[in-house]
Every structure is written in C-alpha cells, then in structure tokens.
Amino acid sequence: MAPFFCLNFFFQPTLTLPMGNTLRLILGDQLNAQHSWFSTVDNHITYVMIESREEGSYAPHHIQKVTGIFSAMRQFAQSLQSSGHHFYYHSILDGSEPNLRTILAELAQKKGIKHIELQEPDEWRLREDLEKLQDEGFEISWYSSEHFISSSDEFQRLFKGKKTFLMETFYRALRKRTGLLMDGKQPVGGKWNYDAQNRKKLPKDHLPPPPFLPSTDVSKEFADAMAAKLPTIGKLEDPMHFYWPTTPAQAWEIFDHWLQYGLHSFGDYQDALTTKSWSLYHSRISFALNTKMIQPLEVCQRVETFYRTNPEVPLNAVEGFIRQILGWREFMRCVYWHRMPEFASENFFEFDRKLPQWFWNGETKMKCLSHTIGQSLNHGYAHHIQRLMVTGNFALLAGIDPDEVDLWYLGIYIDAFEWVEITNTRGMSQYADGGWIATKPYVSTANYMKKMGDYCDQCHYNPKTKTDDDSCPFNALYWNFFDSQRDKLQSNFRLGMVYRTYDKMNITVKAGIREKAQSLLDNINAL
Ligand code: FAD
Ligand code: SF4
C-alpha cells in the first residue's frame, strides 16, 4: 500500500473520499488518540482533518509552531487510518479555500452528508464559526474533547456567589477530587503550596542539562513548504533540530527524560533567569499538552508515581509542577470560557502604544529583552518568568496596546492557543482585565532581574540608576507607571508599599523620573 503521507513535502496526503453518513472533524489541537471516538471502527463515519490557511495565518505564527502542528496532524491521521478508520485529509498544499468551515461544508455537500460531529473547540472564535454549520442546514453534534480534568460547570459551582476567583481555591478542590498528591484528606507533606521555595537564582557555576532532542523526522523541506504557504516568524534550527514532539511517543520520550533529569531542580530554579540555557529545568510539554497529544491527568499521575518511587525528589518541585497543570492550566481554561468574548477586548489602562519594532527581531541593547526575544525567535519558547517578568513586564510598563501584545504572544510561542495565551497575556501579564486574574500588576524594576539572574551583568544599561543616560529603562518606567496609573491602582491593598516608597521620593526625583520615562517612550524603538 502506498504511504498515506510522508513528512517530506514531496509526498502529498491521499485524499480518501468520505464514506458513510457522518463526518467527524478533528482540529489541529485535538490530537487525542485516546478519545472514545476512536475506540471502534465505524464504516459510517469518515474523519476529516483540514490544514486551513485561515487557521495558520490569523496571527503570524512561529515557523516551528506551524511545522509542528501540521506534522503532528499528519502523523495522527496516518495512525488512525492504519487502525482502519476512514479518513479525509485536506493538505494546505492544495491551496484552495482558506476557511476551515467552508472546506468541511463543501466536502459534506459533495458527498450528500448531512450529519457532522465535532469535539468542542477550545477557542471562542472557532466555536462561533463552526456553529454556523447549523444555519447552513447541517445537523451538528458536539462532543467533549475528553482532555481536561475540570469543567466549566465545576468552576461555576465552586465560585457560585463568590466575588473573588482564586486559582488556589480551584487547585485545592481539584487536588481533593482527583486525589493527586494527597494523603487521605491531607495534602502530602502537610502543606498545599510550596511556591515560596521555588524562587532561587541559578548558582554561578551551575549549568543545566541541554534540552532533550526527541527522535523526530520533521524535515527542512517540509518546514520550507509550510513557510511558503503561510506568513511565519522565527527560525528553524540550523542545522535542523526539531525540539518539539509530533507524536505522543515523542512527547512521552521528552517527558520521561525530564522526569529523570529535570524534575529534581524544577522547583528551585523555576523562576531563574539565565543566559546559559533556554529551557532550564522546564518540561517543554506545553505543545504536546495543548495539541492534546498527551493528557494532563496522566502527566500529573506520572509525576506523582515518580515522586512516590523516588522519594529523594524534592516535594517543592513535584507540587510546584502539578500546580502548574492541575491549578493554573485548568483554571485559565475555565476563566477563558467564563469571561469570553468580552475578555478579548478589555484594556483597563486604555493603552495604545505600538509594540517596538525590536520585539520582532530581538535587536535592543537591553540584554534581558534581547536574550528572551532572541531565544523565542530561535526556539518558539521562553519559560514562564521570561514571558511574565521580561517581555510582559516591559510591555505593561511601556503602555503597549494589549491587542498588539496578544498578537505577539499568540504568534511567537510554540504552545500559544488563544484560551491559554490570552488569559496569561491580557489577564495575568498585562492586567488589562483590571485584576480579574492577577491580584496586582506583575511589574518590576531592574532589581528583580538582577536578583533572579545574570542578564544585568551583560547589559549596556546600568541596573542601579534611574535617570542617567545609561540607566536601566525598567527603573524610570516602573515608577512612572505607578505614578501615571495612581487613580486606578492606589486602592489595591497589595500596592500600599509601592505608593508609600514613591511618595517618600522628593519632588525633583519624581520630576526626573517622569522626564526620563517620557524620553524613553519617545525613543522606544532605539532602546
Ligand atoms: P513548565 O514550566 O514545565 O510547566 C509545566 C506545564 O504547566 C506547562 O507545560 C503548562 O501546560 C502548565 N502551565 C504552567 N504555567 C501555566 C500558566 N500560567 N497557565 C497555563 N498553564 C501553565 N502557556 C501556554 O501553554 N500557552 C501560551 O500561549 C502561554 N502564554 C503565556 C503568556 C504569558 C504572558 C505568560 C506569563 C505565560 C504564558 N503561558 C502559556 C504559561 C507558561 O509560560 C507556559 O505554559 C510554559 O512556559 C510552557 O513551558 P513548559 O511546558 O516548559 O512549562
Ligand atoms: Fe534588563 Fe535593565 Fe538588567 Fe539591562 S539592566 S538586563 S535592561 S533589567
């Protein structure tokens, strides 16, 4: 039998025409082979996967993200087809109609099929668009993606009548329900949260292990073919190394390697900033999780089993990791569905500045930003604190329009899908929701950067001063931000200390800060 596809782009997927009376659509981020849809082969059902130009270009995506998703989709299709399922695969190389719904509807009409089944998309935009199939005369049935641990109903029940929505409350409820890291009714170790232990700087002579390279066969030709069809940003590794998994087996390969060599130090150095490694002790599994190649509950269970059989692994690492997935990831998804579609246009500070040009090429004299943006362009990856306290911190202090910030984050990161990108960017990082997700704006002066890493040691700017020619831009911008947003922030009880410190500065210092900040903002592209 001829191969269904090959990752080399010279081989095109076979276009098997639909059979039976039902089409089931599988989106590019619905690659869950364990879904109950696939447990039996049904000759009345044809699965459909579509590489759509619209999906690939609603933001300029990183070349590694486009390549990773389309490769993973093709391998998913191939594996289902070899299990006997009927399949129709629409390749982007066909170059026809860009819209996913239109391609699906045309296919159904051509074959006289009325019934279409879908897994609930994780993005508002797609859900809204696919619902139109009903108005176009199709019968549609929705199914769960069977991926997440929690549901919107559980979120609503837990926070019913409450004014605040704390991640910690949600996380503890999920720990109790799933039994993860529990000894009976008590949390393992006696505490729910060990975050305070997870804030160490990397010691000077400490070199984290290099990121593990999975045994992928994604080719440069394939990536180039995708790039020719879509607007992309970022780079491929040269020579070609593809660090991202495109099958569940590769995802587990990366994950199991990380359990052995990364988990023990994940907690301690989770927030560290360094020029020595682009992924530190982070797991790099967000892409596999967000495309649903692997399931979050199984990830957490594997971590717990590893901990129970290797008791020398520190609990702060284990709890810290499980909290990111069981806590933050699940929480962000529920917040997304609770707050959309209004959430996507919130702009609490009414900021409207454009993103500086160097966000797209990393060419700035600020080492923290040139390093973080540079590695994001090279690898489609930056860890949480780089996203929050370097790029996000700067964007907020500089008053960048949250739409611009969202577009950048949505395009550049391998794991960026709107439900988890926008909640983190517009909510947690940019405070554009006015404090719904974060209890205060996450901003800092150079002090934080200096405390957590080595960027400032290699920088053109001086982290210690505020208003000199070579002063670190973060310093004046930080105080200027709080000064100019006083009416919106002063009543926040977590910011009392900030305003007390600012109010103690003398009037000349304050005027100098304002002047310096204005000059930095006027020359933002030259920083
Ligand atoms: P690790 O540090 O090893 O953590 C393990 C897993 O925990 C991650 O894979 C992820 O699934 C989950 N996780 C950790 N933090 C969060 C969080 N805040 N929200 C949701 N899940 C979390 N994550 C995305 O998956 N997609 C995004 O588009 C995205 N955009 C972000 C934008 C900003 C401004 C910020 C501050 C954070 C963003 N995050 C996003 C969260 C986090 O930065 C990434 O999940 C993480 O860096 C992925 O790398 P990792 O797999 O090595 O994570
Ligand atoms: Fe960043 Fe300022 Fe430190 Fe330079 S001195 S690395 S700009 S925080």
The separation between CA 167 and the C-alpha centre of its own chain, rounded to angstroms, equals 17
Task: Please list every protein residue whose CB sits less than 6 Å from any atom of ligand 1.
Answer: 282-286, 289-290, 324-325, 328-329, 332, 383-384, 387-388, 392, 409, 413, 415-416, 420-421, 424-425, 428-429
In 283-343 the beta strands, taken as DSSP E runs, fall at none
Give 267 Cα–ligand 2 centroid separation in angstroms: 25
Show Cβ contacts of residue 80 under 8 Å, excluding neighbours closer than 6 positions. 33, 38, 47, 87
Residue 331 pLDDT class (50, 70, 90 cuts): very high
Ligand 1 atom closest to Cα of residue 290: 25
Burial letters 68-84, b for 16+ CB under 10 A, else e: bbbbbbbbbbbbbbeee
Token code pair at residue 411:
């395009």
Q: Tell me: the pLDDT tens digits for 53-85? A: 777 677 889 999 999 999 999 999 999 999 999
For a pocket test of ligand 2, which of 369, 371, 373, 449 has the largest count of ligand atoms closer than 8 A to its C-beta? 449
Give 324 Cα–ligand 1 centroid separation in angstroms: 8
Give 328 Cα–ligand 1 centroid separation in angstroms: 8
Give 116 Cα–ligand 2 centroid separation in angstroms: 54
Residue nearest to atom 36 of ligand 1 (CA): 388
In 29-85 the beta strands, taken as DSSP E runs, fall at 45-50, 61-62
Least confident of 215-219, 335-339, 401-405, 514-518: 215-219
Q: Tell me: the pLDDT tens digits for 341-392? A: 999 999 999 999 999 999 999 999 999 999 999 999 999 999 999 999 999 9
Least confident of 20-29, 160-169, 243-252: 160-169
What stretch of H or E contains 385? helix 384-386
Give 362 Cα–ligand 2 centroid separation in angstroms: 14
Give 367 Cα–ligand 2 centroid separation in angstroms: 6
Mean pLDDT of the chain: 92
Ligand 1 atom closest to Cα of residue 281: 3
Does pLDDT of 32 surpass 90?
yes
Ligand nearest the Cα atom of residue 457: 2
Q: Which residue has the higher pLDDT, 241 or 2?
A: 241
Does pLDDT of 1 surpass 50?
no
Ligand nearest the Cα atom of residue 322: 1
Rounded distance between C-alpha atoms, residue 505 and residue 40, angstroms:
71
Report the phi/psi class of residue 447: left, alpha or beta, with left for phi > 0 and alpha for psi in -120 to 50. Answer: alpha
Query: Which H, E and C letters describe 149-160, residue by residue?
Result: CCCHHHHHHHHC
Does pLDDT of 197 surpass 50?
yes
Give 373 Cα–ligand 2 centroid separation in angstroms: 14
Average pLDDT over residues 177-206: 93
Give 508 Cα–ligand 1 centroid separation in angstroms: 42
Sheet holding 115-119, edge to edge: 86-90, 45-50, 22-25, 115-119, 139-143
Task: Return the percentage of the chain with pLDDT > 70, whole number.
Answer: 95
The sign of the CA dihedral 340, 345, 349, 354 is: positive
For a pocket test of ligand 1, which of 278, 290, 369, 384 has the largest count of ligand atoms closer than 8 A to its C-beta? 384
pLDDT at 95: 66
Rounded distance between C-alpha atoms, residue 150 and residue 156, angstroms:
11
Q: Are 441 and 389 in contact (CB under 8 A)?
A: no
Tokens 């009976």 -> residue: 184
Tokens 């594996």 -> residue: 79
Helix, coil or strand: residue 355: coil
Pairing of strands 232-233, 115-119: unpaired
Residue nearest to atom 42 of ligand 1 (CA): 384
Show Cβ contacts of residue 189 under 8 Å, excluding neighbours closer than 6 positions. 315, 319
Rounded distance between C-alpha atoms, residue 310 and residue 304, angstroms:
10
Ligand nearest the Cα atom of residue 473: 2
In 153-289 the beta strands, taken as DSSP E runs, fall at 182-183, 186-187, 232-233
Q: Which residue has the higher pLDDT, 205 or 13?
A: 205
Angle (nearest 5°) at CA 341 between 338 and 344:
105
Angle (nearest 5°) at CA 126 between 124 and 131:
95
Average pLDDT over residues 170-189: 96
Task: Return the percentage of the chain with pLDDT > 90, whole number.
Answer: 82
Ligand nearest the Cα atom of residue 461: 2
pLDDT at 8: 39
Phi, psi of 70 (to 5 degrees): -65, -35
Task: Name the residue type at position 77.
Answer: A
Burial letters 411-433, b for 16+ CB under 10 A, else e: bbbbbbbbbbbbbbbbbbbbbbb
Least confident of 28-42, 214-228, 464-478, 508-522: 214-228
Residue 93 pLDDT class (50, 70, 90 cuts): confident
Q: Are 72 and 250 in contact (CB under 8 A)?
A: no
Average pLDDT over residues 490-519: 96
pLDDT at 501: 97
Q: Which residue has the higher pLDDT, 397 or 56?
A: 397
Does pLDDT of 7 surpass 50?
no
Query: Which H, E and C letters describe 23-40, residue by residue?
Result: EEECCCCCCCCCCHHHCC
Does pLDDT of 4 surpass 60?
no
Q: Tell me: the pLDDT tens digits for 95-138? A: 666 789 999 999 999 889 999 999 999 999 999 999 999 999 99
Ligand nearest the Cα atom of residue 279: 1
Residue 293 pLDDT class (50, 70, 90 cuts): very high
Give 32 Cα–ligand 1 centroid separation in angstroms: 20
Does pLDDT of 5 surpass 50?
no
Give 360 Cα–ligand 1 centroid separation in angstroms: 21
For a pocket test of ligand 1, which of 324, 381, 437 has the largest count of ligand atoms closer than 8 A to its C-beta? 324
Give 63 Cα–ligand 1 centroid separation in angstroms: 19
Rounded distance between C-alpha atoms, residue 319 and residue 465, angstroms:
38
Residue nearest to atom 34 of ligand 1 (CA): 425
Q: Which residue has the higher pLDDT, 351 or 220?
A: 351
* Number of helices and strands in the chain (H, E): 23, 9
Residue nearest to atom 8 of ligand 2 (CA): 446
For a pocket test of ligand 1, which of 65, 424, 426 has the largest count of ligand atoms closer than 8 A to its C-beta? 424
Rounded distance between C-alpha atoms, residue 309 and residue 287, angstroms:
27
Residue 245 pLDDT class (50, 70, 90 cuts): very high
The separation between CA 470 and the C-alpha centre of its own chain, rounded to angstroms, equals 34
Give 525 Cα–ligand 2 centroid separation in angstroms: 16
Does pLDDT of 20 surpass 80?
no
Ligand 1 atom closest to Cα of residue 392: 34
